[in-house]
Amino acid sequence: MSPAGQSSSPKRRAVLRTAWALVAVAFGIYALFVGRAFWQGGL
Amino acid sequence: MTDTTLAHSDSHDHHPTGLARWLFTTNHKEIGTLYLVFSLVMFLVGGAMALVIRAELFAPGLHLVNPEFFNQMTTMHALVMIFAAVMPAFVGLANWMVPLMIGAPDMALPRMNNWSFWIMPFAFTLLLSTLFMPSGGPASGWTLYPPLSLQGGNSLAFVILAIHLMGISSIMGSINIIATILNMRAPGMTLLRMPMFVWTWLITAFLLIAVMPVLAGAVTMLLTDRFFGTSFFNAAGGGDPVLYQHIFWFFGHPEVYIMILPAFGIVSEIIPTFSRKKLFGYTSMVYATASIAFLSFIVWAHHMFTVGMPLGAALFFMYATMVIAVPTGVKIFNWVSTMWRGSMTFETPMLFALGFVVLFTIGGLSGVMLAIVPADFQYHDTYFVVAHFHYVLVTGAVFAIMASVYYWIPKWTGNMYNETLGKIHFWWSTFWVNVLFFPQHYLGLAGMPRRIPDYAIQFTEFNVISSIGGFAFGLGQLLFVYIVWQCARGGQKATDGVWEGARGLEWTVPSPAPLHTFDTPPDVDHPDYVAHTSGTS
């Protein structure tokens, strides 16, 4: 199992899909709390 | 044992040595070791700060440190113990054990795993460096409540950056754990065949991803309030300090469960092993863990009843908090039922697990007392709260971590630890931790406030007892360091199975676990494995 083979395998793609989805969730929650507060006139 | 597990060979592995080995490693076992060593060092640093606090409180009056430094110690002790000792210890255990337990060759994202760890030493160097700055370290308590936190020195900026870094590390670690568990399980390792430790960490990782960005949002607003002229929490500018408390505790209460759910998982591994029975009520354990995680999001205001809130809100948060006792009770019941009529033996991991069950329950019961709104008006910000959360976090989380180290260290090092010294460590710790924290209940009920360097003379006796307990408990942890050091250097060789009643894929690999395991996924339905993976019914 070479690294090159791993990077294109369906499992690798599934791992990356999961990871990016979770990154989006984390940023979304941060934006919900702090972004919305700034938007509503904290400044 | 099938040849799939024995097929791992390190001969193909060109591994760097020395510092580069640890700096550039992407191996889950080495990163797990890094986390655990970092955690142990920070446990000692945080412990030293606790001893400064207990030394000052040994007698009424101001003796050793000035009040400002005392406040920095209470703040830093909490930040270090929560974020640098307990959480990294659990992440280290997850790194070491989750891939082994689910039959995966490594974590799903090994390079990110390296990054997750190496952020931590920088974050906490930054945090601790504030103690040497002209304005001193943070002194407003680990919650960093405004307006007090906004009235301190410029070191707040360093503290907030450290919290951001630590949060990024936690989020990346959680993404890795979730991606690993959801994508890297061996064929046949269905979700409801996973060990309880893996389940509790899966749920914990989701909690972390949900609440660490909330903490990041809160401290970002704190930063802009302090340095950029905003007024989110500044009443003079139209802001509301109570808003900070709501946001902070929306993070803070799930954070409590982040520190205890993996502990539940550890105890759910150890008690069946030393009772030589399957875990009673596996499925209900999974649902109870998920229920506790859900409830953790709807109870935050019980930390702030005294700020005042509508009666309906106070009742809601009181009852929601009490409801947590139900799934927690299910867990206690299941652990006791697992032991019922089991062939129990009492090696050190089991002793710490049993200590956890008894003493964590004391912390849980005082938690129910604190949930009662009118009673909380009396207990709030007293030593009763300090006693409560130290029973939950020291005899709960820390005892579980120690149980797990004794349980898995033969697999990590290939050597058995010294059982006699392990038992001495347990009994010494259990006795003195109660001397340390139990009198604090009485101090709190009598009205002694927390976070004060001096106190009224009627509180002297219980403070003396508590301080003696603190120093003796701290001394006992040096024995723990010695036991771990001795075990890492040598000793009686451990077998692959290590414990007679142990079940799970981690016990099918050699001791010490080679650098690479499960390069070929194990077939968990193979007869050699099935006995290790059928613990669900």
DSSP string, B29-67: HHHHHHHHHHHHHHHHHHHHHHHHHHHHTTSSS--SS-H
Angle at CA of residue B372, ends B366 and B376, nearest 5°: 80
Q: Which of A11, A18, A30 sits opposite B216 (nearest CB)?
A: A30
Subunit contact B221:A37, Cβ cutoff 8 A:
yes
Highest-pLDDT range among A29-38, B13-22, B27-36, B519-528: B27-36
CB B45 within 8 A of CB B81: no
Q: How far, in Å, CA of B286 to CA of B537, rounded?
A: 13
CA distance B70 to chain A (A): 32
Specify the pLDDT at position B533.
Answer: 58
Q: How far, in Å, CA of B496 to CA of B506, rounded?
A: 9
Average pLDDT value for residue range B120-134: 96
Average pLDDT value for residue range B126-138: 95
Q: Which residue has the higher pLDDT, B180 or B532?
A: B180
CB B312 within 8 A of CB B261: no
Q: Which of B183, B214, B230 sits opposite A33 (nearest CB)?
A: B214
Neighbouring C-beta atoms of residue B287, cutoff 10 Å: 12
Subunit contact A26:B178, Cβ cutoff 8 A:
no
- Residue B403 burial by CB count (10 A; 0-12/13-18/19+): exposed, middle or buried? buried
CA distance B115 to chain A (A): 15
Average pLDDT, chain B: 94
Q: Which of A26, A32, A34 sits opposite B220 (nearest CB)?
A: A34
Neighbouring C-beta atoms of residue B66, cutoff 10 Å: 12
Report the chain A residue with the minimal C-alpha distance to residue B519: A1
CA distance A19 to chain B (A): 6
DSSP B105: S
Specify the pLDDT at position B14.
Answer: 62
Q: Which of B10-24, B51-65, B437-451 is predicted least confidently? A: B10-24
Reported as a pLDDT band with limits 50, 70 and 90, residue B537 is very low
Question: B309 - beta bridge partners?
Answer: none
Q: Which residue has the higher pLDDT, B278 or A36?
A: B278
Backbone angles phi and psi of B2, in degrees to 5 = -85, 165
Reported as a pLDDT band with limits 50, 70 and 90, residue B531 is low
CB B23 within 8 A of CB B117: no
Neighbouring C-beta atoms of residue B365, cutoff 10 Å: 13
Select the residue from A2, A30, A36, A40 to test the B interface by mutation, using most B Cβ atoms within 10 A: A30
Average pLDDT value for residue range B497-518: 94
Specify the pLDDT at position B2.
Answer: 42
Specify the pLDDT at position B530.
Answer: 63
Name the residues of B annotated as catalytic. Answer: 77, 106, 142, 169-170, 253, 255, 257, 268, 302-303, 328, 331, 450
Report the chain B residue with the minimal C-alpha distance to residue A13: B183
Subunit contact B175:A27, Cβ cutoff 8 A:
no
Q: How far, in Å, CA of B120 to CA of B115, rounded?
A: 9
B395: tokens are 């005899």
pLDDT digits (tens, 9 = 90+) for B279-289: 999 999 999 99
Q: CA dist A31 to A2, A38, B126, B247, B522, Å? A: 39, 10, 26, 14, 42
State percent of chain B over pLDDT 90.
91
Tokens 């030589």 label which residue?
A: B276
At B449, is the secondary structure helix, strand, or coil? strand
- Residue B381 burial by CB count (10 A; 0-12/13-18/19+): exposed, middle or buried? middle
Residues of chain A contacting B175 with CB distance shorter than 8 Å: 18-19, 22-23, 26
Report the chain B residue with the minimal C-alpha distance to residue A24: B209
Specify the pLDDT at position B159.
Answer: 97
Residues of chain A contacting B247 with CB distance shorter than 8 Å: 33
Q: Which of B11-15, B68-72, B218-222, B515-519 is predicted least confidently? A: B11-15
Subunit contact B231:A30, Cβ cutoff 8 A:
no
Specify the pLDDT at position B62.
Answer: 95
Reported as a pLDDT band with limits 50, 70 and 90, residue B218 is very high
Specify the pLDDT at position B3.
Answer: 41
Specify the pLDDT at position A5.
Answer: 41
pLDDT digits (tens, 9 = 90+) for B456-470: 999 999 999 999 999
CB B2 within 8 A of CB B522: yes
Q: Name every residue in B having a CB less than 8 A away from some CB of A.
A: 108-109, 112, 171, 174-176, 178-179, 182-184, 209-210, 212-214, 216-218, 220-221, 224, 230-232, 239, 247, 519
Select the residue from B220, B231, B233, B519 to test the A interface by mutation, using most A Cβ atoms within 10 A: B220
Q: Which of B403, B371, B364 is nearest to B387 (CA)?
A: B364
Specify the pLDDT at position B1.
Answer: 40
Query: Does A15 lie at the interface with B, CB-CB under 8 angstroms?
Result: yes
Q: Which of B56-65, B407-416, B517-526 is predicted least confidently? A: B517-526
Q: Which of B171, B183, B218 sits opposite A14 (nearest CB)?
A: B183
Specify the pLDDT at position B362.
Answer: 97
Collect all residues with Cβ–Cβ distance below 8 Å to A10 and sequence separation of at least 6. none
CA distance B216 to chain A (A): 7
Q: How far, in Å, CA of B407 to CA of B8, rounded?
A: 24
Interface ipTM above 0.90: no
The pTM of this model reads 0.94
Average pLDDT value for residue range B86-92: 98
Q: Which of B40, B39, B64 is nearest to B53 (CA)?
A: B64
Annotate chain A with DSSP letters as a single string. --HHHHHTSHHHHHHHHHHHHHHHHHHHHHIIIIIHHIIIII-
Q: CA dist B363 to B50, B390, B439, Å? A: 19, 8, 13
Q: Which of A34-38, B229-233, B433-437, B510-514 is predicted least confidently? A: A34-38
Q: Which of A1, A15, A32 sits opposite B109 (nearest CB)?
A: A15
CB B301 within 8 A of CB B246: yes
Query: Does A24 lie at the interface with B, CB-CB under 8 angstroms?
Result: no
Residues of chain B contacting A43 with CB distance shorter than 8 Å: 224, 230
Specify the pLDDT at position A9.
Answer: 87
Average pLDDT by stretches of 10, chain A with 43 residues:
55 92 93 80 55
At B415, is the secondary structure helix, strand, or coil? strand
Structural Rg of chain B based on CA atoms: 23
Q: How far, in Å, CA of B290 to CA of B435, rounded?
A: 34
Select the residue from A33, A40, A43 to test the B interface by mutation, using most B Cβ atoms within 10 A: A33
Annotate B192-240 with DSSP letters as a single string. GGS-HHHHHHHHHHHHHHHHHHHHHHHHHHHHHHHHS---SS-GGGT--
pLDDT digits (tens, 9 = 90+) for B194-209: 999 999 999 999 999 9
CB B253 within 8 A of CB B299: yes
Angle at CA of residue B45, ends B42 and B46, nearest 5°: 85
CB B13 within 8 A of CB B519: no
Specify the pLDDT at position B323.
Answer: 97
Residues of chain B contacting A32 with CB distance shorter than 8 Å: 217
**B532 pLDDT more than 80:** no
Specify the pLDDT at position B16.
Answer: 81
Neighbouring C-beta atoms of residue B375, cutoff 10 Å: 15
CA distance B231 to chain A (A): 6
Residues of chain B contacting A30 with CB distance shorter than 8 Å: 213-214, 216-217
Q: Which of B338, B252, B324 is nearest to B288 (CA)?
A: B324
**B519 pLDDT more than 60:** yes
Angle at CA of residue B422, ends B421 and B423, nearest 5°: 90
Q: Which of A11, A27, A42 sits opposite B183 (nearest CB)?
A: A11
Specify the pLDDT at position B374.
Answer: 96
